[in-house]
Structure 1
Amino acid sequence: MAMKERSAIWPWKGDVPPHLPRPDNMPKAFLLPGDPGRVDKAAEVLDDFRIVGQNREFRMGVGTLDGVAIGICSTGIGGASTEIVMVELAALGVEVAIRTGGMGALAPDLALGDFLIAAEAVRNSGVAAFYAEPGERVLADIGIVTLLDTARGELGLPGRPGTCATADGYYRAQGRPDRPDGDGTPAILDQLAARGAEGIEMEAEIVLAAGHALGLRAGAVLAVHAHRLSDGWLEDYDKTQRDLLRLGAMAAARAVAGR
């Protein structure tokens, strides 16, 4: 009997993953925005940037910073697609993964346009539970946290390390109403804040938990594009996105180079 090219258990075709595009030379470090549209913005930050390809929500590009190869791949929204990215990147030999995304602030000292470097995430995601060790927190790689915060300081960007929470949905799961005249469930945010969460988003806990389980050095830097206490929303997000990618790329390059 001829051997099947794929299996349902591990549906790769040789060394080609079922979901992610794959460059000929795989960078050791990847930035992970959620939105495929943000991948192209890496051309403003990385040298020799090119798009590798896109499959579904997974758009990938590669470039260099200070001579170090850096990849960027969108995760799409939420835990399920983020798990796919983490597992397939790990199997392709990636060693460093840094989420570069947005969040809604839950802390009064954080302002729109600030950057929270996720040193940890409170346990909240169903997908992350398959990878996280027992406990109330999922920790980022401390070396990546330090590199991110150092880069933030060098770039003169406002923010600090802190704690995030990852929600498995955008509306009810984050206390929002599900119709224009609804009230939402703000108690959800109060409960997360009481557990130490200073921001809420949809992917970081999975990046941290899966990264640790799969042997990657994982971290996340989150830009405040919404403020859940003041109900503020950052309309002009372009510069913040560019700063987010630059900050993440600096940390990723230094992690690979051992600086």
Structure 2
Amino acid sequence: MKKYFAPSELLINEDGSIFHLHVKPEQLADKVILVGDPGRVKQVAAYLENQECHVSNREFTTITGTYKGKRITVISTGIGCGNIDIVMNEIDALANIDFQTREAKDRLRSLEIVRIGTCGGLQPTTPVGTFVCSEISIGLDGLLNFYERRNAICDLPLERAFLNHLGWSGNLCSPAPYAVHSDQEMVERIAQTDMVRGITITSGGFFGPQGRELRIPLADPQQNAKIEDFEYQGKHVTNFEMESSALAGLSQLLGHHATTVCMVIANRIAHKANTGYKSNMNDLIQTVLERI
């Protein structure tokens, strides 16, 4: 017997669109590009040959169109893993749940998803302007811990090594990190030979969780130094950002293929930043459009 998704669990608007995104099932392409900034949706969509739909609600803006014969949906998520939880569950519902019967479809769609974002570099090899592909993400946000089969898709030895290295084991005030790999085929296709690959730290905030100290002292002032020094099977932590772990984890649990690529806009070691980066995103956007 199929599971029925009640109105309180699967929220559908009166016009037949999904609750937060306001997108209808027929408006979702099999190839999806996620961006944080709603303004960046237009930046990506400027390269599309046509636009089938343009829908906005809150921080979520969606445009579906065609690039060189490929049908692509571009969606803004806003900032943080909480919003990725909303977007990933809602696009999966659009793809794989029949909105009339409120049951899963007999034939499930598997989406290809690439997040294009910005990040902070944590190594000398990731100066400002570097393109980084998240081969593995360590989530400090805790999101995936609320889902069944979390352990089945996570790299548990990597999690233990990371916890021990930071000295967080047994500390009830510390996060419970999860480590999850991006889809390897997507990494190979998107990163190719011109992007840095490595471990990405996904944090639950921009300031304290990423080791930035303004007026509130940090619980562990050595956190970033420890993270920069962490190594696992020859891989180092390349960057900080706020969404990749949730994307990689939820994609695996839902049967989709995903990875994250970011442009470094601040290098934490060199103490340098570029806040006027938006015009430089075009190269990364065009690269992803060609390779997705």
Normalised TM-score (structure 2): 0.75
The answer to whether 1:238 aligns with 2:278 is yes
How far does residue 20 in structure 1 lie from its aligned partner after superposition? 0.7
Report what 2:106 is aligned to.
Answer: none
Structure with greater Cα Rg: 2
How far does residue 127 in structure 1 lie from its aligned partner after superposition? 1.3
Distance 1:27 1:106, change over 3 A: same
Q: Distance in 1 between matches of 2:144 and 2:35?
A: 18
How far does residue 188 in structure 1 lie from its aligned partner after superposition? 2.2
Report what 2:136 is aligned to.
Answer: 120
Report what 1:257 is aligned to.
Answer: none
Q: Distance in 1 between matches of 2:138 and 2:229?
A: 11
Distance 1:36 1:51, change over 3 A: farther
Q: % of aligned pairs identical?
A: 27
Report what 1:78 is aligned to.
Answer: 80
User: Matched residue pairs, number?
Assistant: 240
Distance 1:42 1:171, change over 3 A: same
Letter paired with 1:160 = V
Report what 1:20 is aligned to.
Answer: 21
How far does residue 192 in structure 1 lie from its aligned partner after superposition? 2.6
> 1:137-165 deviations in whole A, cap 9, x for unaligned?
21000110011123xx5xxxx53221101
Q: Distance in 1 between matches of 2:269 and 2:47?
A: 32
**Structure 2: 5+ residue runs without aligned partners?**
96-109, 160-178, 231-235
Q: Distance in 2 between matches of 1:190 and 1:149?
A: 27
Q: How does 1:154-165 map to 2 (within 5 A)?
A: 159-165=195-201
Q: Distance in 1 between matches of 2:196 and 2:113?
A: 19
Report what 2:168 is aligned to.
Answer: none
Report what 1:187 is aligned to.
Answer: 222
Q: Distance in 1 between matches of 2:144 and 2:115?
A: 15
Q: Distance in 1 between matches of 2:191 and 2:85?
A: 25
How far does residue 110 in structure 1 lie from its aligned partner after superposition? 1.2
Q: Distance in 2 between matches of 1:164 and 1:149?
A: 14
Report what 1:55 is aligned to.
Answer: 57
Letter paired with 1:77 = I
The answer to whether 1:171 aligns with 2:217 is no
Letter paired with 1:48 = N
How far does residue 70 in structure 1 lie from its aligned partner after superposition? 0.6
Q: Does the 8 Å contact 2:45/2:74 carry over to 1? A: no
Residue 265 of structure 2 aligns to a residue whose secondary structure is strand
Q: Does the 8 Å contact 2:183/2:258 carry over to 1? A: yes
The answer to whether 1:227 aligns with 2:267 is yes
**Structure 1: 5+ residue runs without aligned partners?**
253-259
> 1:90-126 deviations in whole A, cap 9, x for unaligned?
1212611111000000011111111011111124221
Q: Does the 8 Å contact 2:27/2:64 carry over to 1? A: no
Residue 92 of structure 1 aligns to a residue whose secondary structure is helix
Q: Does the 8 Å contact 1:106/1:199 carry over to 2? A: yes
Indicate the RMSD between aligned Cα atoms, in angstroms.
2.2
